[in-house]
Amino acid sequence: MLSSARFVRSLVALVAVLILSAVGARAQQEARMGIVKGTAFKFSLEVQDFHYLETMRTPLEGGESCEELLRRDLQQSDFFEVRRELAFIPDPADSSNMPKPVEYLATGIVRKKWGEVVLEGELLDAASGKVMFRQEYSLGSPPDRRAVHAYADDIVRHVTGEAGVALSRIAFVGVIGKAKEVFLVDYDGFGLSQLTKLGSICLSPRFSADGERLAFTSFAQGEADLVTLALSDGRMTPLSSRPGIDSAPAWHPDGSQVAASLTFEGNAEIYVMDDHGKKAQRLTFSPAIETAPCFSPDGSRIVFTSDRTGEPHLWVMDSDGANSQRLSYLGKWSDSADWSPRGDRIVFVALVDDGFDIFTMAPDGSDRRRATANDGSWENPRWAPDGRHIVAAKRERGGQRRLFVMTADGGGKRALTSFSGDQYNPAWSSSRKLREATR
Amino acid sequence: MSRRQAKDVRLKARATEIVPFEDHLELDGRVSRPDRVLNGLGSERMTDKTNRLATTLLPALVILVGLAAFGGCAKKQKPPAVTPPTSDSQSTGSQTGTTGDTGTGDTGDSNSMTELGLQDIFFDYDRSVLREDARRLLDGNARQLLEGSSVVILEGHCDERGTTEYNLALGERRAHTARDYMVQYGVSGSRLRSVSFGEERPFDPGHDERAWSQNRRVHFVAQ
């Protein structure tokens, strides 16, 4: 009896240990990824004041120093709790010199090299003093904010294994004079440039997955057509000029196809076509409005808006149009879905109170969470490439629309750009290629 | 109500609509009217100051106003002092922009077909079904068109609530509904083109139900 009881007890203990260690390992892994749901896990990181050797401490555009911008980028990455300590060059051989509570140290030296100003960045594991990476960035003169952004993204990638967003850009529609044009701006609001000068109405820009092209709706020919724009040279190519409305383009993740809402057969339906606008294949067949499609990141499914039940709500179907099913039952109107590049969440807006608010949900419609409340009416939420941030347009009562960036739970809202006109229809670039191509 | 009374009511309503609105014209970023439309029917009339007016009407007055217009309104009469419109006229959002001397409200909408007397029709929020007042106005529009041979563009518009993409489709559905109705009335479908501007060209740039009710419309433009 005694021995069997002891056996059972030890078996229970063993199972408990196994479960706990499995859970612990999983938690640790998720913690490293910084994706533990509902918790605010952050890596602690210290950005020391940079050393400036034989160079002036020229402030960046906007007045910040390089280290101040690096701290802000890392803070805004949502992965780090950024600390600032007195500057010193740590001696990797002497680990007692390291401040204990900090996990990572980022250092920088700005100096001249072959007549050019460069930033030498170095990330250290604070506990071991081990160099995680060392990279040289061409800072230029006047110093370029994007060199610091590049350092920030490298830190994010080395620590978390994920791509940062500091180098990403956001396209949007801005009202300038009497026209609605497409603009492009850095993720932190700097580097604003106007991409179109059509003097007409441009709407709904969307980046291709490689970030090299934008598709958008243009009224330049009198009615809604689809156009693509190559970011490398700004050249525009007609994508679809069918009769009726050609609108709401969304790229397939492999860049070979575009889904859109077309009305050339009489009613607004979802179609997919190749990236030259040919071979349009109809996916929906209902007398209702179908629009605002968005592919899942694996390209297998499409979320879209349909009012086939009388009110506009979100539906999802296979990318060949099969297995259409309703996804949201929230409020009087849910719309404008965007599938996270990580695949795990869909962001959308729903009319629940007075205005539209931002929600996220799992791709099967479960686990819905609200990101905004009692703070104006929101439109067109779009994921950042990291799947952790959202950009969206807010229309304040009696005012015009303004773009805000926030984390997926609605935290840390900041106005994106100092552009003064009405601004809406944002899209967040996805890849590094774009950033270099437009440089 | 006499014809004169009906006219006064209309002018009052008209005056209250216009004043703030003409200010907005210069300030906001509305897209300019396409040249092809400016060169279209009635462009001379549109330059007449007295024609640059929008009118808000009680739905019950619509027919009376129509009669007044056909009866020939005094073109030089000054609008009376501005008085607030009744809440009824605000909520119905009924508007004639087109009959006789009234012209369109020159408010960023493309020119209405003043000579043909085509009237804008209005819709409920997120709806494209024709209201009773819209049917009456469309009957009148169709009658006018049956007498001519010109091609007309039906512009579908929405208020600012909802998303850009959905509203583009909704605007087209409104235009299609109006087009289908007029085709059933006997107007040749080949003379009716429909387009949609979604929420991108509001008639009234305001952000309240009064503005929204004016913006959910189908507007008629000469090709």
Question: So what's the pLDDT on residue A55?
Answer: 82
Given pLDDT bands bounded at 50, 70 and 90, which one contains residue A96?
A: low
DSSP state of B53: -
Sign (positive or negative) of CA dihedral A73, A79, A84, A87: negative
Contact B66, B139 (CB under 8 A): no
User: Cβ neighbours of residue A128 under 8 Å, at least 6 residues apart?
Assistant: A95
**Order of strands across the sheet that contains B152-157:** B121-122, B217-222, B152-157, B192-198
- Mean pLDDT value across residues A126-136: 94
Instruction: Tell me if chain B has a CB within 8 Å of the CB of A422.
Output: yes
Given pLDDT bands bounded at 50, 70 and 90, which one contains residue A430?
A: confident
**Tokens describing residue B113:** 């077909």
Model confidence pLDDT, tens digit, residues A417-427? 999 899 999 99
Distance CA A104, CA A30 (A): 18
Question: So what's the pLDDT on residue A437?
Answer: 37
Kindly determine whether residue A247 and residue B165, on different chains, have CB atoms separated by under 8 Å. Answer: yes
ipTM of the complex: 0.84
Could you give the angle at the alpha carbon of B66 between the alpha carbons of B60 and B69, nearest 5°?
140
Which one of B39, B165, B209 would you mutate to disrupt binding with A, by most A Cβ within 10 Å of its Cβ?
B165
H, E, C per residue of chain A: CHHHHHHHHHHHHHHHHHHHHHHHHHHHHHHHHCCCCCCCCCEEEEECCCEEECCCCCCCCCCCCHHHHHHHHHHHCCCEEEECCCCCCCCCCCHHHCCCCCCEEEEEEEEEECCEEEEEEEEEECCCCCEEEEEEEECCCCCCHHHHHHHHHHHHHHHHCCCCCCCCEEEEEEEECCEEEEEEEECCCCCCEECCCCCCEEEEEEECCCCCEEEEEECCCCCCEEEEEECCCCCEEEEECCCCCEEEEEECCCCCEEEEEECCCCCCEEEEEECCCCCCEECCCCCCCEEEEEECCCCCEEEEEECCCCCCEEEEEECCCCCCEECCCCCCCEEEEEECCCCCCEEEEEECCCCEEEEEECCCCCCCEECCCCCCEEEEEEECCCCCEEEEEEECCCCCEEEEEEECCCCCCEECCCCCCCEEEEEECCCHHHHHHCC
One-letter amino acid of A257: Q
Residue for token digits 């978390």? A160
Grouping H, G, I as helix, E, B as strand and the rest as coil, residue B62 is helix
Q: Is B111 exposed, middle or buried (0-12, 13-18, 19+ CB in 10 A)?
A: buried
Question: So what's the pLDDT on residue A88?
Answer: 54
Mean pLDDT of chain A: 88
Q: State how far residue A224 is from chain B, nearest Cα, in angstroms.
A: 8
Question: So what's the pLDDT on residue B153?
Answer: 95
Say yes or no to pLDDT of A17 above 60.
no
Distance CA A87, CA A95 (A): 16
Given pLDDT bands bounded at 50, 70 and 90, which one contains residue A396?
A: confident
Which one of B30, B38, B107, B163 would you mutate to disrupt binding with A, by most A Cβ within 10 Å of its Cβ?
B163
**Tokens describing residue A150:** 């590049």
DSSP state of B51: G
Question: So what's the pLDDT on residue A57?
Answer: 86
Closest to A200 (Cβ–Cβ): which among B31, B172, B196? Answer: B31
Grouping H, G, I as helix, E, B as strand and the rest as coil, residue B113 is coil
User: Cβ neighbours of residue A387 under 8 Å, at least 6 residues apart?
Assistant: A340, A341, A342, A344, A345, A408
What does DSSP say about strands A193-194 and A179-186: parallel, antiparallel, or unpaired? antiparallel
Distance CA B199, CA B171 (A): 8
Kindly determine whether residue A245 and residue B164, on different chains, have CB atoms separated by under 8 Å. Answer: no
Sign (positive or negative) of CA dihedral B141, B146, B152, B156: positive
**Tokens describing residue B8:** 């006064």
Kindly determine whether residue B168 and residue A291, on different chains, have CB atoms separated by under 8 Å. Answer: yes
**Tokens describing residue A438:** 């437009």
Model confidence pLDDT, tens digit, residues A303-354? 999 999 999 999 999 999 999 999 998 999 999 999 999 999 999 999 998 8
Say yes or no to pLDDT of A268 above 70.
yes
User: Cβ neighbours of residue A286 under 8 Å, at least 6 residues apart?
Assistant: A267, A269, A306, A308
Grouping H, G, I as helix, E, B as strand and the rest as coil, residue B215 is helix
User: Cβ neighbours of residue A110 under 8 Å, at least 6 residues apart?
Assistant: A50, A51, A52, A53, A55, A66, A117, A118, A119, A120, A139, A143
Grouping H, G, I as helix, E, B as strand and the rest as coil, residue B120 is coil
DSSP state of B190: G
What does DSSP say about strands A80-83 and A43-47: parallel, antiparallel, or unpaired? parallel
> Which neighbouring-strand residues pair with B96?
B55
DSSP state of B139: H
User: Strand ranges (DSSP E) for chain B?
Assistant: 55-56, 95-96, 121-122, 152-157, 192-198, 217-222
What does DSSP say about strands A104-113 and A80-83: parallel, antiparallel, or unpaired? unpaired
Q: Give the up-direction half-sphere exposure of residue B212: CA atoms within 13 A in the CB hemisphere.
A: 14
Q: Which helix (H) or strand (E) holds B165?
A: helix B164-185
Kindly determine whether residue B164 and residue A219, on different chains, have CB atoms separated by under 8 Å. Answer: no
- Evaluate if pTM is beyond 0.80: no
Say yes or no to pLDDT of A278 above 90.
yes
Question: So what's the pLDDT on residue B180?
Answer: 95
Distance CA A191, CA A184 (A): 8
% of chain A at pLDDT higher than 90: 75
Question: So what's the pLDDT on residue A16?
Answer: 53
Distance CA A316, CA B6 (A): 54
Q: A293 preceded by cis ω (within 30°)?
A: no
Model confidence pLDDT, tens digit, residues A47-93? 999 999 988 888 999 999 999 999 999 999 999 999 876 545 556 66
Question: So what's the pLDDT on residue B110?
Answer: 56
Chain A (259-318) residues lying within 8 Å, Cβ to Cβ, of chain B: 261, 263, 266-268, 289-292, 305, 307, 311-312
Distance CA A64, CA A30 (A): 34
**Tokens describing residue A43:** 């890596």
Given pLDDT bands bounded at 50, 70 and 90, which one contains residue A9?
A: low
A-B contacts (CB, under 8 Å): 101
Tens-of-pLDDT digits for all 223 residues of chain B?
A: 444 444 444 444 333 333 333 333 333 333 333 333 333 333 333 333 333 333 443 444 444 444 444 443 333 333 333 333 333 333 333 343 333 333 333 345 655 555 567 899 999 999 999 999 999 999 999 999 998 889 999 999 999 988 999 999 999 999 999 999 999 999 999 999 999 999 999 999 888 899 999 999 999 998 8
Instruction: Tell me if chain B has a CB within 8 Å of the CB of A380.
Output: yes
Which one of B32, B129, B164 would you mutate to disrupt binding with A, by most A Cβ within 10 Å of its Cβ?
B164
